[in-house]
Amino acid sequence: MPPTSKRVTASIAAVLALVLPSCTPGSPTDPAPTQSSPARTGSPSAEPSDHPDRPDPQVPDVAPEGFVTPPPGQGAERYRQQRIGWTSCGAHQCATVAAPLEHARPDRQAITLSLLKVPATEEPRLGTLFVNPGGPGFPGTSTAAELPRTGLEQYDIVGWDPRGVGGSTPVRCFQGEDVDAYMALDTSPDDSAERQALVVANRSFGQSCLERSGELLQHISTLETVRDLDLLRSLVGDERLSYLGYSYGTYIGALYAELFPDRVGRLVLDSAVNITDAEDVTQAEGFDRALGAFADWCVSQGCRLGTTREEVLEQVTTIFDATDVQPMATAGDRQLTQSLAVTGVVLLLYSEQSWPQLREALELAADGEGDALLFYADQYNQRGEDGQYGQSTFAFPAISCVDTADGGLDEALEQWQADEEVAPVFGRYFGPALTCPVWPVTPDVPEGTITGAGADPLLVIGTTGDSATPYEYAVSMAEQLESGHLLTLEGEGHGAFGDGNACVDGAVVAYLTEGTLPPEGTRCRE
């Protein structure tokens, strides 16, 4: 932990307990904001034939950690004939299984998938509930270990680290000081020179991932992950999939319903991402709304940032602008740049429970002390005390960019201008999404509209004050999926189930254990 004032130190443990419980429900499920703008969710956009500024992939001949020999046998059946060898890992059970690097070419290279199981404690067993925390790029193993079990005791709860993530065959990129410099870059360029510097930095970042990850980087799309999930369903012996996915994990669930509708059991999609081609509400708008709600609360608490909502918002933008001109000093040898200040604020907007810490961090920054916001930015970016970054920092952009077709750099800059018009604060400071337009692999996105035609009824949950995945995304997903059923939580925060709301928790448990959906139009309240 970097040196901080006593006031900052006193609040750190509290906020981390609130918003960083290893990606359990209600915590941020998106890892480090990259230079493609903070916490954008990975969902299909544009057409597969677009992406004019991506270089032709020049895949180096490297064997990443986790490349293994395929199991004995032929074709896809060689993987489905595996037996999961569960072993004790603390209070839980762990295992590793093999999956094809390319499901369309199962006799080539194999990769590994890491699993963690919390066994059922009550009879009769209902099978396996697979869980995914979102991201993309966050490990599901820790989510399974920490998911509240009340009402779900009849399920084996299994989390897996998706391909490219955590204990599975992981994406690797540059590390340490190189990542420090990348994270500190000015992401809201003011002129052509700054824009070009951002493009060059993103090209270098993507190339570093390709050089260290090889052909794995081409094969970590959600399409491949969904096929992995169906393999896992088969290996645990379930005829139909039971699944709980948060944030980006809702995209996994929706795409599973599209690819394997006859194998859908009970799917809970909490804090839905945008699965449409259109984006009527941007993520920047979601964070602007959350910042406005924080500002109202701050005024009601008599904070020093202002006596009106407008004054508080102006103080926040003043801090952002000041760190753009001159990075703010901290007690250590690093400085708080604008992008790091924005990231620190974003982390604390995920949950209204962390608003007191956001107030304190902003008041300190207004006094010229950048330690608190830098600390929270480091937590969001998964930067350890040794200067090394967590693996999800690299898996997030890698999966997002292979999942997202794009219209090139010019389109990204045009979209940035449009975002600023509808979200004056974060539309501006998130900057243009320039990582994916220059990513060194070709997108792998589903063709056509995701409807899940033929799937059994599934439950979509949206929170009206969700900053990371605006409520409109859940409404849209529930409407677009033919068997989608919407449950609304009126409140703030990202991730509804397992966060202590009896109405939401009861509805989810009833659906997962009995197949009973809440009445149409049900709205839970905090």
Q: Return the active site residues.
A: 247, 466, 494
Cβ atoms of residues 3 and 12 within 8 Å: no
Query: How many Å apart are CA 515 and CA 95, to the nearest integer?
Result: 29
Query: How many Å apart are CA 524 and CA 258, to the nearest integer?
Result: 28
Backbone angles phi, psi at 183, to 5 degrees: -70, -25
Look at the chain and count its residues: 526
Strand 92-100 with 87-89, pairing:
antiparallel
Cβ atoms of residues 349 and 467 within 8 Å: yes
Q: Is 194 helix (H, G, I), strand (E, B) or coil?
A: helix
Q: Which distant-in-sequence residues (6+ apart) come within 8 Å of 104 by Cβ?
A: none
Query: How many Å apart are CA 141 and CA 150, to the nearest integer?
Result: 19
Backbone angles phi, psi at 493, to 5 degrees: 110, 165
**Beta bridge pairs of residue 489:** 463, 524
Query: Which sign does the torsion angle of CA 176, 178, 181, 184 carry?
Result: negative
**Beta bridge pairs of residue 68:** 110
- DSSP H/E element including 392: helix 392-403
* Residue 267: CA count within 13 A, CB half-sphere: 34
Query: How many Å apart are CA 320 and CA 350, to the nearest integer?
Result: 19
Backbone angles phi, psi at 432, to 5 degrees: -75, 145
- Burial of 344: CB neighbours in 10 Å, binned 0-12, 13-18, 19+: buried
Angle (CA) 111 257 107, round 5°: 25
Identity of the residue numbered 493: G
Query: How many Å apart are CA 459 and CA 430, to the nearest integer?
Result: 31
What is the C-alpha R_g of the chain? Answer: 22
H-helix segments, 214-304? 222-235, 248-259, 283-300
Structure tokens, 71: 């199991």
Q: To 10 degrees, what angle do helices 283-300 and 409-422 make? A: 30
